[in-house]
Amino acid sequence: MSMNTVGRPTRPEAPQGADVNDYVHPTLTGARGLLQDEALIFELNAWDKTGVDLPDAPAADDLGDLVRKAPIGLPGLSEPEAVRHYVRLSQKNHAIDLALYPLGSCTMKHNPRLNEKMARLPGFSDIHPLQPQSTVQGAIELMDRLAHWLKTLTGMPAVALSPKAGAHGELCGLLAIRAAHEANGQGHRKTVLAPTSAHGTNPATAAFCGYTVVEIAQTDDGRVDLADLEAKLGDHVAAIMVTNPNTCGLFERDVVEIARLTHAAGAYFYCDGANFNAIVGRVRPGDLGVDAMHINLHKTFSTPHGGGGPGAGPVVLSAALAPFAPTPWVVSREFGFKLVEEAEGPAAQAFGRMSAFHGQMGMFVRAYAYMLSHGADGLRQVAEDAVLNANYIKARLGDLMSPAFPNGPCMHEALFDDAWLEGTGVTTLDFAKAMIDEGFHPMTMYFPLVVHGAMLIEPTETESKQELDRFVTALRALAGAVAKIKNGGGDVDRFKGAPYHAPLKRLDETQAARKPRLRWKPVAAAPLAAE
């Protein structure tokens, strides 16, 4: 029995020469201890059940042949069955409440439950987007206050709240830029520049807006190549899109110069604000010359990621772009707040509407509660601790793994390449899967694309030193196992077949893509529910 550094027993080690697969014997039912093998709801034979008590109602009135007659094919579960089904499924998920979740560029930080409680107050959760504005003054004021915080923290004069996610915010920013060019007789500008290290959403968004994307080269120290930028700027360029801090986890040192060159060429500077958490309270993007930047409320201001969404992506805008902000927006009036749903006002040149209603109100409530909790002082500390934690990871792993940019500090995430794995047969993917067996969610892999076999680790500010040390200990142990392989001994199967201790072993993604099965299909037609 081996012991980890805090003295807890870990799993027994396999005897020398044993096949790693022998560690786990298949069980008779497919369950593993308390982890149940959970069927699909469609396989529970519950076609005639319901877990909701509803009164009988008379047949439909005046609907004639519009009434559905064929069976739909939906099973129902009684309440205890439903609760058990979903709780069992939940046990097969990793989550930030279980352990460090070091996904670079995703910012998985603690989700305070106070925010959940606030979002569920009936005055926020049970109000309709189209009820009279006189009956929702508190909600509109909350939007106004949130806007004030975002504008103050970024040093920008305007904000559009309605984008529903980071990528939707990018779209909003580029649409404002496009509208500004069209209004200024510059509609011929059809190119957007983006660094090779950009988030994939940046080029996708630009293309969606009808732009051609041209890549800007990167310097050896992971920043935008100014000479290449200058060479590619011209009166055909509508905007540049730069992430700052960038996806290599570095601050763009020349950002002020980037903005100056961009503006001199008549283009706008879009900043991808996915990494705003690294600088909040310490740097205002408005001071850097940014024209538009989305803020992922779910990242910087911690709203739960919920298995991939919902997010919220408000966009701050410079004075030049402010008139083009989409509807709706909030204005403060003598007798209260007004939500302006159709463009009005002398300067308004709104480019249109981003979605049906006013944005992710549920996320606004959570983010605002988070802001109030931290305050101006706490938010500054957020950036400092996020950066400190990432540099600590980099320092503690830098001797065994290979930092992609060893010189100088990183910001809120530490980037490694796979040079240290060379010659071992272990890939970034294998190493990541082996981390699962040690109880950690893998880091972001193979992104950014500019670094070979990239491993991007973002601990965030809500990790304690003790949790970071636990993580470092596990990674150093794994790196030690890699070193053994390098020296001719060691167990490459530990990596190649990992994970062994997750609910499932490695999944066949190729088969899933080659023969897509995107829904359950009945063997025979599902019986119609009896009424």
Q: Is-cis flag, bond preceding 15, omega within 30?
A: no
Q: Which residues 319-348 are close enough to bind other proteins by CB under 8 A?
A: 326, 341-342
The interface region with other proteins, picked from 9-17, 71-79, 450-458, 481-489 by CB under 8 A, is: 71-79
Greatest extent of the chain over all pairs of C-alpha atoms, in Å: 80
By beta-carbon proximity to other proteins, the closer residue of 87 and 319 is 87
Q: State in angstroms the smallest separation of the CB of 488 from other proteins.
A: 27
Q: Which residues 131-170 are close enough to bind other proteins by CB under 8 A?
A: 131-132, 134-139, 141-142, 149, 152-153, 164-168, 170
By beta-carbon proximity to other proteins, the closer residue of 22 and 62 is 62
CA torsion sign for 466, 469, 475, 480 is negative
List of residues 6+ apart from 360 with CB closer than 8 A:
164, 297, 310, 311, 312
- The verdict on 108 binding other proteins (CB under 8 A) reads yes
By beta-carbon proximity to other proteins, the closer residue of 21 and 422 is 21
CB 453 within 8 A of CB 446: yes
Q: State in angstroms the smallest separation of the CB of 487 from other proteins.
A: 27
- The verdict on 310 binding other proteins (CB under 8 A) reads yes
By beta-carbon proximity to other proteins, the closer residue of 352 and 480 is 352
Q: State in angstroms the smallest separation of the CB of 1 from other proteins.
A: 25
Q: State in angstroms the smallest separation of the CB of 485 from other proteins.
A: 20
Can you tell me the distance from the alpha carbon of 376 to that of 369, in angstroms, rounded to the nearest whole number? 13
Q: 349 in helix, strand or coil? A: coil
Q: State in angstroms the smallest separation of the CB of 422 from other proteins.
A: 24
Integer angstrom CA distances of residue 467 from 143, 333, 383, 463, 464? 36, 49, 18, 6, 5
Can you tell me the distance from the alpha carbon of 505 to that of 485, in angstroms, rounded to the nearest whole number? 22
- The verdict on 17 binding other proteins (CB under 8 A) reads no
Residue 416: which of 454, 363, 471 has the closest Cα? Answer: 454
Can you tell me the distance from the alpha carbon of 202 to that of 247, in angstroms, rounded to the nearest whole number? 12
DSSP 267-280: -EEEEE-TTGGGTT
Considering only residues 11, 13, 18, 123, which one is a binding residue for other proteins as defined by CB under 8 A? Answer: 123
Type of residue found at 501: H
- The verdict on 38 binding other proteins (CB under 8 A) reads yes
- The verdict on 34 binding other proteins (CB under 8 A) reads no
By beta-carbon proximity to other proteins, the closer residue of 77 and 486 is 77
CB 333 within 8 A of CB 171: no
- What is the bridge-based pairing of β-strands 191-195 and 329-333? unpaired
Binding mask 206-235 for other proteins (x = CB under 8 A): xxxxx--x----------------------
CB 143 within 8 A of CB 161: yes
Can you tell me the distance from the alpha carbon of 383 to that of 79, in angstroms, rounded to the nearest whole number? 44
Considering only residues 381, 400, 479, 493, which one is a binding residue for other proteins as defined by CB under 8 A? Answer: 381
Q: Is-cis flag, bond preceding 328, omega within 30?
A: yes
- The verdict on 395 binding other proteins (CB under 8 A) reads yes
By beta-carbon proximity to other proteins, the closer residue of 228 and 254 is 254
By beta-carbon proximity to other proteins, the closer residue of 14 and 484 is 14
Q: Which residues 76-95 are close enough to bind other proteins by CB under 8 A?
A: 76-77, 79, 82-83, 85-87, 89-95
Considering only residues 18, 27, 31, 71, which one is a binding residue for other proteins as defined by CB under 8 A? Answer: 71
Type of residue found at 134: S
Terminus-to-terminus CA distance in the chain, angstroms? Answer: 60
The interface region with other proteins, picked from 12-20, 314-322, 403-411, 474-482 by CB under 8 A, is: 403-411
Which H or E element spans position 468? Answer: helix 465-486
Binding mask 423-442 for other proteins (x = CB under 8 A): ---------xx--x----xx
Which H or E element spans position 457? Answer: strand 455-457
Can you tell me the distance from the alpha carbon of 288 to that of 259, in angstroms, rounded to the nearest whole number? 7
Q: State in angstroms the smallest separation of the CB of 403 from other proteins.
A: 12
Q: State in angstroms the smallest separation of the CB of 250 from other proteins.
A: 7
Q: Which residues 232-291 are close enough to bind other proteins by CB under 8 A?
A: 250-253, 255-256, 279, 281-284, 287-288
Q: State in angstroms the smallest separation of the CB of 357 from other proteins.
A: 3
- The verdict on 448 binding other proteins (CB under 8 A) reads no
Residue 239: which of 173, 286, 326 has the closest Cα? Answer: 173
Q: Tell me the backbone φ, ψ of residue 239, rounded to 5 degrees.
A: -160, 160
Q: Is-cis flag, bond preceding 245, omega within 30?
A: yes
Q: How many chain residues touch other proteins (CB under 8 A)?
A: 210
CB 277 within 8 A of CB 300: yes
Q: State in angstroms the smallest separation of the CB of 331 from other proteins.
A: 17
- The verdict on 181 binding other proteins (CB under 8 A) reads no
Considering only residues 185, 488, 508, 523, which one is a binding residue for other proteins as defined by CB under 8 A? Answer: 508
By beta-carbon proximity to other proteins, the closer residue of 334 and 508 is 508
- The verdict on 520 binding other proteins (CB under 8 A) reads yes
